[in-house]
Amino acid sequence: MRRVTGKQVVDLDAAGFAAHRARYPRAVLDVGTGDGKHPQHLARERPDTLVVGLDAAKDNMRKAATRAAAKPARGGLPNLLYIWSAAEHLPDGLTGFTELHVLMPWGSLLRGVLGSDPTMLRGLAAACEPGAEFLVTLNLHAWQPPVPEVGEHPEPTPESAVEDLGPALAAAGWRLDTAAYLDAAEIAALATSWTRRLNSSRDRLEVLALTGVVNPGLG
C-alpha cells in the first residue's frame, strides 16, 4: 500500500501496517477522507486509536499528512496514517478496523454506498473486524437537484433508507440499524472541510446519518 507522508509517498507493506495496527486496541478507517481533517480530529481526540484516512486523490491529503508525520513534540500524530487508494481497490493487508466512516461521499463512493457497487461494499466490509461499527453521512443536497451520482436512487429519508438501502447494504455484510437527520451541532462535530464549506454557503445543511454494524455475527 502507499502511505502519504507529506510531499512523499512511501510503500507500506502488509507487515508494516500490521505493526502499526498492533499498537492500538481500536482502529478507524475513514474512506474518502478528502483533505484529512476528520481523521486528524479523531486522532487527536482518541490517542489510543489508530486512525487511517484513505482517498484516491493523494494531493488533497498532503498537508494533513505532513503534520501527522511530524515528531509528537511538534504536533505529530503517531496514531494517524494516510493511505493513497481508491475505495474500490483496497490494498492488501489493510485490515483489522473496528470502526468505518464514510462521510459526505461523492462520485463513485456515493454510488457505492447507495448500493450501486456491492463489490466495493464487500471490500470495505472485508477490511473490518466482525462487529465493526459504521457511520455513513449523506449530503442530501446531492438530490436537490439530483446529481448524476445518485442515479435512480430517490432522496433517502430515515424511513426509506431502512427500507430501500438496508437490503442492499445487508447483502454486502452491512447491517443498517439507524437512519436519522443530523442537527447543526452534530454536523459540525464531523469536523470535515466539506461540512464547513457547505454550511458557509447554505442557510441549512441537510445530512442523513446511517449507522450500524459491519460483519455482524461473524465473531
Distance separating alpha carbons of residues 61 and 56, to the nearest angstrom: 10
Say what the pLDDT of residue 202 is. 47
Number of domains in the chain: 2
Q: In the listed set 40, 62, 93, which residue is the last one of a domain according to the structure?
A: 93
Pair (114, 204) in one structural domain: yes
Pair (83, 46) in one structural domain: yes
Q: In the listed set 93, 113, 128, which residue is the last one of a domain according to the structure?
A: 93
Pair (76, 108) in one structural domain: no
Say what the pLDDT of residue 191 is. 84
Q: Which residues of the chain have pLDDT under 70?
A: 193-204, 217-219
Say what the pLDDT of residue 152 is. 87
> Which structural domain, as residue segments, surrounds residue 1?
1-93
Pair (102, 86) in one structural domain: no
Pair (68, 158) in one structural domain: no
DSSP per position, 3-16 = EE-SS-EEE--HHH
Pair (184, 217) in one structural domain: yes
* Residue that the C-alpha cell 475513514 belongs to: 30
Say what the pLDDT of residue 7 is. 87
Say what the pLDDT of residue 151 is. 87
CATH of the domain at 219: 3.40.50.150
Pair (66, 102) in one structural domain: no
Grid coordinates representing 145?
437537484
Q: Yes or no: say if 197 and 110 are a contact pair by the CB < 8 Å rule.
A: no
Pair (100, 207) in one structural domain: yes
